[in-house]
Structure 1
Amino acid sequence: MTHVQIDRSRPLPAQIVEDVRGRITDSRLAPGDPLPSTRVLARQLGISRGSVVSAYEQLVGEGLLITSPGGTRVDPSLRVPGGPAAAPAPGPRPAPPRGDLKPGEPATGLLTGALWRSAWRAAAARPTAHPAAGSERLRALVAEHVRLTRSVRVEAHDIVITAGARDGLRLVLAARGRRGTLAVEDPGYPSLRHVPRAMGWRLQPVDTRAAGTGPRATPDRHADAILVTPNHQFPTGAQMPAARRFALLEAARRADALIVEDDYDSALRQTHPPLLALDAEGRVAMLGSFSTTLTPALALGYLIVPPLLRERVADLCLPTSGLVQDAVAAYMEADGLRRHTARVRREYRRRRTAFVEIFPEGVPMESGLRAVVPLRAGVGEDGVVARCRAQGLAVEGMSGYWSARGPRAPGIVLGLGTGPLDRLRERLAVLRRTVDGS
């Protein structure tokens, strides 16, 4: 309101009244909007506070403003013709739907310790903007982290910091320079398939149930790129055998195809070395993320870029939060990531045990983030999922992980990371009753 033109030849309170009234009637001020205090507005306009007090009193009398210990604001119940609807009267909020057993949600309750808070204080004390490819400090720490945990030696310049796995996939496919055919695992992670489809790539499903290294286990020669999760096949958590890994690398060589390896949750389980460790031709790009080891709220990951794409990827990078990068870097430097990962792995072992006690027929992933409950033949998967949702269980059906049509066994995919362990047991018992009643 500082741009009110004060005409000292006219009564000052009347001018303020006219200005505020006009702002309300043309919806520049909406019901519930706050106004400056009388002292602040008087100082901004260079007039006496008494003039502002007089104007506000008149507007209150007209029913346009209300005053309270919290200040002066437009009456929330006011209805202005043609303007926005009045703010609803406060009342009890409906309880939000529960997200129990949601697949992929990590257990974040162990994270908020003194070391984590200290890392964020240090980052906030000196906020820094970083190059689009990411903080040099964090990239060097990620390179060391990958060397120690994945037995792959890379340099900081091989790494770009991303907003997560989907952002990394977007980057590397865009850097490829042309749209084509992307071979994807079937079943596979649905949200990663959305990215290439939105970018105009054609998806070629490859059935991961096939044994050995036959044509159903590897993409055909027309694939331009291959998206795989060799150390965590979705949603079962199976690992790709060594023979199939070498066959995949050979298939990519014959097709001159790029391999995009999603190294999802490898830090939480005993895994084989990544495909990147077997790559002698610079054909593999590897996606990494802090979502499962720390929290998805960070929206932070990394991409290890093949040499031929390094310059192009650097041109396409979008910067991620410098504050988040610095906080994670400080946490890693204090050995927080390694120690936290060890705690989380122990916690997930307890959660897998709880799951197996209630679902002995189930298939828990070693990482503990997901599990699968097979359903009896003839049981309607959609109906079971709907009944689970009605109980506040955010489970998913196995069918959502497939992209190709054909016979498939029905099942329920759930997560073991949400809530404390006692709560997990309670919700697993609810799921047991729901499944048994189907």
Structure 2
Amino acid sequence: MAFSQTNFAWATLLDVPPAAGAGAGRGPRGPRALHDRLAQALRTAIREGRLAEGAAVPPSRALAEELGCSRWVVTQAYGQLGAEGYLAARVGSATRVSWSPQSAPAPPDARRAPAPPPVRYDLAPGLPDLRAFPRRRWADAVRAVTGSAVHYDLGLPDPAGHPQLRGTLAQYLRRSRAADADASCVTVCAGVTDGLVRTCRALSARGITDVAVEDPGWGRLRVAAASAGLRVHPVPVDRDGLRTDDLARTPARAVVVGAAHQFPTGASLSPARRAGLVRWAREVDGFIVEDDYDAEFRYDHRPVAVMQGMDPSRVFLLGSVSKTLSPALGLGWLLAPAATGRALRAANPVAAAPPVLDQLALATFIDRGWYDAHLRLARRRFRARRDLLLRTLGGLLPQGRVEGAAAGLHILLHLPETTDTRRTVLAAAAAGLCLVDLDTYRAAPSAGRALVLGYGNIGDTEIPAAIGVLRDALRDAPPADRRVHPPERRSGDFGGCA
């Protein structure tokens, strides 16, 4: 292995114990000699990782001069560590560290623990097509703003976000989502979860103590609301979305809802329930938090407009580019009622906005039309992939029933009542297929037999093989005993494979 000739450990702090008179340790024959104490200091630095494997230690003459000792002391210490395997000397080259904590043998228990099987096929929901991230266009946007940003753009960022991106997002939300958006009401945040935490803190400051969430629903939203100090009340979802009659029976004065495309059922909130939800918010003097996480992907008709436009004074709108571009960007937005702006800022005094250059890059990406072009291509690609998935399921798993296929990046696959979906997920994982049971997203276990199949981040050519593995897992898993199993939690109860 080739090492950099400049990788010297000159600056490493060596904790050489003092001489015997100052409290040095004693060996079996009396006070420990200086070369023994130097060897111990080097040995400790290597074991703690301060001297990394491959790093060159100082030449013996240079280290002796620095320590104020004879060269013999250093060569003796180096020789001892070389015999122990910590150092390796080569003729014509520096003496280098040849051991690291990572190269040490694992404890017996760790050696016996089996490694998790590698993921060959990913049918877990939650990701877009990461292979299709528009690298060139995004790099162009970053390059453009890096060259054109004025000097004060590089100072401390505005906690609410850069004005240019806030204006661009307001215009985009008005145009594409029919929102009642003004730049002054837009806050740039790190994503939907970050936006929800900020919103819940502001609601708590206004005296709201209880919030309702959809059940089943994205677990991270429950955790975010609870972390802000609110009591969380799960409310059931059916084919028409959140059951507003059940919501009215809770003490909640706020509700988090996916109106355009509920996760994970795929339901859209019906027109009657949209109107009923707005009436409820007015009656209880409460608020609706609308999670607009992937509404851009609709395949049967144009995307449904946001609820926020029905009553901008009662609805917070959350969105991000995590499902359209990549969660790695960490860019999202919060459109808040104008009257809550001061409370929102006061409740989140140390909340930081994403990096300014990233914000400006997103503004450029949208303003130049690249975001709309990317979404058009993505919709076409995802629709074709969804159709391929449905055809493959029909051919290999005709006993399954599909729901929620009209939008988004996942479907629900309902299976016969004799199916044990929990064991099916485990059997599939052993074969390299990542799946998620619908029960993972429920607040409490149920007797449902359904899988949530995401198709955003799987290649088209991988789908037939992946469904073949699922068919084999269903065949090999023992039948359900009709008792309710506790859900198999993973990745913090948010779905996906660890």
Find the aligned partners of 1:16 and 1:307 in 2 and give their Cα distance: 72
Q: Is the 8 A contact 1:24 1:30 kept in 2?
A: no
Tell me the amino acid that sits aligned with residue 76 of structure 1. W
Q: Any idea what the Cα deviations from partners look like across 1:322-347, whole Å, max 9, x if unmatched?
A: 34323323322332211111111011
Q: Is the 8 A contact 1:59 1:65 kept in 2?
A: no
- 2:449 aligned to which of 394, 410, 418: 410
For 1:168, the equivalent position in structure 2 comes to 195
SS for the counterpart of 2:88 is: strand
1:60 and 1:170, CA in 2 relative to 1: closer, same or farther beyond 3 A? same
TM-score with structure 2 setting the length: 0.73
For 2:378, the equivalent position in structure 1 comes to 344
- 1:182 aligned to which of 191, 207, 211: 211
For 2:418, the equivalent position in structure 1 comes to 378
Q: CA deviation at 1:123?
A: 5.1
- Flag structure 2 segments of 5+ consecutive residues without an equivalent: 1-9, 15-32, 107-114, 395-400, 478-498
1:70 and 1:246, CA in 2 relative to 1: closer, same or farther beyond 3 A? farther
SS for the counterpart of 1:206 is: strand
1:435 and 1:3, CA in 2 relative to 1: closer, same or farther beyond 3 A? closer
Q: How does 1:52-91 map to 2 (within 5 A)?
A: 60-62=78-80, 63=82, 64-66=86-88, 73-76=96-99, 87=104
For 1:103, the equivalent position in structure 2 comes to 125
For 1:22, the equivalent position in structure 2 comes to 41
- 2:139 aligned to which of 117, 120, 125: 117
Find the aligned partners of 1:161 and 1:21 in 2 and give their Cα distance: 53
For 2:361, the equivalent position in structure 1 comes to 327
Instruction: Identify which range, 194-203 or 124-133, moves more after superposition.
Output: 124-133
SS for the counterpart of 2:263 is: coil
1:74 and 1:183, CA in 2 relative to 1: closer, same or farther beyond 3 A? same
Instruction: Identify which range, 158-167 or 303-312, moves more after superposition.
Output: 303-312
Q: Is the 8 A contact 1:183 1:206 kept in 2?
A: yes
Q: How does 1:170-319 map to 2 (within 5 A)?
A: 170-176=197-203, 177=205, 178=207, 180-209=209-238, 216=245, 218-220=247-249, 222-269=251-298, 270-279=302-311, 282-315=313-346, 316=348, 317-319=351-353
Q: CA deviation at 1:319?
A: 2.6
Find the aligned partners of 2:34 and 2:242 in 1 and give their Cα distance: 83
Q: Any idea what the Cα deviations from partners look like across 1:150-208, whole Å, max 9, x if unmatched?
A: 02241222111111111111000001114521111222222211211233322222222
1:2 and 1:340, CA in 2 relative to 1: closer, same or farther beyond 3 A? same
Q: Does 1:421 align with 2:460?
A: yes
Q: CA deviation at 1:427?
A: 1.0
Q: Is the 8 A contact 2:38 2:77 kept in 1?
A: no
Q: Is the 8 A contact 1:38 1:52 kept in 2?
A: no
- 1:390 aligned to which of 430, 436, 443: 430
Q: Any idea what the Cα deviations from partners look like across 1:42-82, whole Å, max 9, x if unmatched?
A: 7xx9x89xx999998766533143368997642316xxxxx
Instruction: Identify which range, 350-359 or 65-74, moves more after superposition.
Output: 65-74
1:140 and 1:95, CA in 2 relative to 1: closer, same or farther beyond 3 A? same
Find the aligned partners of 1:266 and 1:139 in 2 and give their Cα distance: 20
Q: Is the 8 A contact 2:191 2:333 kept in 1?
A: yes
Instruction: Identify which range, 332-341 or 208-217, moves more after superposition.
Output: 208-217
Tell me the amino acid that sits aligned with residue 296 of structure 1. P
Instruction: Identify which range, 287-296 or 214-223, moves more after superposition.
Output: 214-223
1:416 and 1:3, CA in 2 relative to 1: closer, same or farther beyond 3 A? closer
Q: Any idea what the Cα deviations from partners look like across 1:137-162, whole Å, max 9, x if unmatched?
A: 22111112111210224122211111
1:28 and 1:383, CA in 2 relative to 1: closer, same or farther beyond 3 A? closer
Q: Any idea what the Cα deviations from partners look like across 1:272-327, whole Å, max 9, x if unmatched?
A: 211101015x0100110110000111122111111222122224132323343233
Instruction: Identify which range, 245-254 or 322-331, moves more after superposition.
Output: 322-331
1:103 and 1:28, CA in 2 relative to 1: closer, same or farther beyond 3 A? closer
Q: Does 1:133 align with 2:160?
A: yes
Q: Is the 8 A contact 2:244 2:277 kept in 1?
A: no
Cα RMSD after superposing both structures? 3.6
SS for the counterpart of 1:147 is: helix
Find the aligned partners of 1:147 and 1:244 in 2 and give their Cα distance: 23
Tell me the amino acid that sits aligned with residue 376 of structure 1. P
TM-score with structure 1 setting the length: 0.82
1:190 and 1:28, CA in 2 relative to 1: closer, same or farther beyond 3 A? closer
Find the aligned partners of 1:100 and 1:349 in 2 and give their Cα distance: 18
Q: Is the 8 A contact 2:241 2:269 kept in 1?
A: no
Q: CA deviation at 1:98?
A: 4.0
Query: Identity, % of aligned pairs?
Result: 30
Instruction: Identify which range, 18-27 or 150-159, moves more after superposition.
Output: 18-27
Q: Any idea what the Cα deviations from partners look like across 1:362-397, whole Å, max 9, x if unmatched?
A: 225334411111010132221112112222222111
Aligned length: 414
